[in-house]
């Protein structure tokens, strides 16, 4: 039992080290709405074939975040761009779309999911209108049915909406609603603080502490 406990701690620590070391540079994917639909879920280190959009080398992403297009209504996106950039312990993600010809109203819904066992840790999301004049309401849900609202905010006339924190969630469902004006593009930015994950050596220390406690109990 004692050996199993120690081995388990070391395995957990090794997995966390691998996760941290896997955090690498830049990743981008771009394509049309049909490209995204054809690919289904797009993972940040498992990019699709070039025939269904253009992406960077598969080794450049973390492989811990996936994007799924749910629906687009009332406007036709000219292009989508998904990207990741690692900076000072944070994964910075962006989901942007250019809207062909602009639009008066419309809805864009997608999900972003992390496979990290700690969820999104310290995660933030905001939305901007990339150009044009308009009002975008962004609703963030915790379920695919869009019934449990966990945050809502507005982006007006190309100004960033306030950040909201989503720590602990593994999947966020993002709904952008253009309610008025003429918006030619949207950009959602999510920051994910990987530095919030417990250090590997901390996990090892916890394992040894538990190991010592079990020995003291047995001796007593």
Three-class secondary structure of residue 219 per DSSP? helix
More confident residue, 69 or 23: 69
| Total count of domains within the chain | 1
Q: Which two tokens stand for residue 195?
A: 């530095």
Q: Which residue segment(s) compose the domain that 181 sits in?
A: 26-197
Residue 210 lies in a domain: no
Note the helical H segments in 24-70. 33-39
Residue 213 lies in a domain: no
CA pair distance 220, 215, nearest whole angstrom: 9
For 192-201, what is each residue's pLDDT tens digit? 887 776 555 4
Residue 218 lies in a domain: no
Residue 59 has pLDDT above 80, yes or no: no
Residue 60 has pLDDT above 50, yes or no: yes
In this prediction, residue 75 carries a pLDDT of 87
Residue 7 lies in a domain: no
In this prediction, residue 158 carries a pLDDT of 84
17-29 burial, b for 16+ CB within 10 Å, e for fewer? eebeeebeeebbb
Q: What's the whole-model pTM score?
A: 0.76
For 171-184, what is each residue's pLDDT tens digit? 999 999 998 878 88
CA pair distance 69, 130, nearest whole angstrom: 19
Residue 6 lies in a domain: no
CA pair distance 144, 21, nearest whole angstrom: 32
In this prediction, residue 47 carries a pLDDT of 65
Residue 151 lies in a domain: yes
Residue 173 lies in a domain: yes
For 9-36, what is each residue's pLDDT tens digit? 323 333 333 333 344 458 888 999 998 9
Residue 15 lies in a domain: no
């Amino acid at each position: 039992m004692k050996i199993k406990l120690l081995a388990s701690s070391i395995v957990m620590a090794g997995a966390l080290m691998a996760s941290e070391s896997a955090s690498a540079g830049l990743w981008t994917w771009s394509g049309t709405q049909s490209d995204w639909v054809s690919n289904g879920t797009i993972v940040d280190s498992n990019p699709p074939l070039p025939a269904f959009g253009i992406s960077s080398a598969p080794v450049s992403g973390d492989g811990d975040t996936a994007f799924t297009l749910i629906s687009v209504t009332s406007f036709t996106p000219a292009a989508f761009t998904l990207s990741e950039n690692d900076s000072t312990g944070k994964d910075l993600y962006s989901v942007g779309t250019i809207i062909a010809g602009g639009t008066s109203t419309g809805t864009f819904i997608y999900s972003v999911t992390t496979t990290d066992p700690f969820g999104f840790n310290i995660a933030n999301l905001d939305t901007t209108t990339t150009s044009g004049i308009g009002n975008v309401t962004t609703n963030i849900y915790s379920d695919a049915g869009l019934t449990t609202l966990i945050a809502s905010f507005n982006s007006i006339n190309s100004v960033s909406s306030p950040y909201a924190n989503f720590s602990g969630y593994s999947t966020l469902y993002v709904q952008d609603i253009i309610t008025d004006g003429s918006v030619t593009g949207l950009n959602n930015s999510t920051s994910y603080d990987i530095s919030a994950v417990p250090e590997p050596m901390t996990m090892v220390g916890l394992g040894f502490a538990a190991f010592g406690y079990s020995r003291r109990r047995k001796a007593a």
